[in-house]
A and B are shown apart, each in its own frame.
Chain A
Amino acid sequence: AQKITQTQPGMFVQEKEAVTLDCTYDTSDPSYGLFWYKQPSSGEMIFLIYQGSYDQQNATEGRYSLNFQKARKSANLVISASQLGDSAMYFCAMREGLEGYQKVTFGTGTKLQVIP
């Protein structure tokens, strides 16, 4: 079974609009961490946001927020006020366990294109 599922292979959003990228996860471990990364065409992985399974509040980092719905096992990324530079691949990832050395599993990614 897929541990991380991103059902949107591609998304379009108008510049300055908000967009939600979907991510669902599957784990029986009560301790886990969820990540979102951005990968531009140049290839580097850019960390965006992190949510721990015990965090009570949804994580936010600037224009990025993570809509964490634990019971539904979803961790959607919301990007507000989209910019042209946001066009990239976005990967959701999960670490089962809260220790940094533990394995991180990535989803298949969503390609976001911001339209002027």
Chain B
Amino acid sequence: GAVVSQHPSWVICKSGTSVKIECRSLDFQATTMFWYRQFPKQSLMLMATSNEGSKATYEQGVEKDKFLINHASLTLSTLTVTSAHPEDSSFYICSALPLTSGDEQFFGPGTRLTVL
């Protein structure tokens, strides 16, 4: 149980295009999902907290208009990187907090984004 998927697992895009990453909780409902970014050989940095049916809460320094988050249902949150540039190339990981047990986040497998 407690499986989180991400799609796509990797994506290569041209500079200036937008990329959407999906995060799904497959066997549980999650009112809260988290989006992290991890640069090579670095730690995970929280970008934003996504709550179903409301606006996401962004961490300081994260551009809201660049990283659009939508949490439209209890099992799906999406992160859209708008007008991507090479410096946005990174590993993006989501996690989901089960509705019924509020202690542990379950992580997705991550999405590797490369912007050319």
Contacts and interface: CB of A to CB of B under 8 A. Distances in A.
Interface of A: 33, 37, 42-47, 50, 91, 99-101, 103-109
A104 B95 CA distance: 11
B28 interface: no
Contacts, number: 53
Give chain B's interface secondary structure class: strand
Interface in B14-49: 31-32, 34, 42-46, 49
Contact of A101 (B46, B97, B108): B97
A59 B101 CA distance: 19
Nearest to B112: A43
The 9 residue pairs across chains A and B that have the minimum distance between CB atoms: A100-B102, A45-B107, A43-B110, A44-B109, A106-B43, A101-B32, A106-B44, A100-B97, A108-B43
A6 to B, nearest CB: 9
A47 B104 contact: yes
Interface in B57-116: 91, 93, 95, 97, 101-110, 112
Contacts of B109: 42-44
A53 to B, nearest CB: 13
Nearest to A91: B43
Nearest to B44: A106
Chain B, interface residues (CB within 8 Å), range: 20 to 34
Give chain A's interface secondary structure class: loop
B43 A104 contact: no
Contact of A100 (B91, B93, B105, B112): B105
Given A33-B103, A91-B43, A106-B45, 14 more contacts: A37-B107, A43-B91, A43-B93, A45-B93, A45-B95, A45-B107, A47-B106, A91-B44, A100-B104, A101-B51, A101-B97, A101-B102, A103-B46, A104-B105
Contacts of A42: 109
Given A43-B112, A103-B49, A50 B43 contact: no
25 contacts: A33-B103, A43-B91, A43-B109, A44-B109, A44-B110, A45-B107, A47-B105, A47-B106, A50-B103, A50-B104, A91-B44, A99-B102, A100-B32, A100-B101, A100-B103, A100-B104, A101-B32, A101-B49, A101-B51, A103-B46, A104-B34, A104-B105, A106-B43, A106-B44, A109-B43
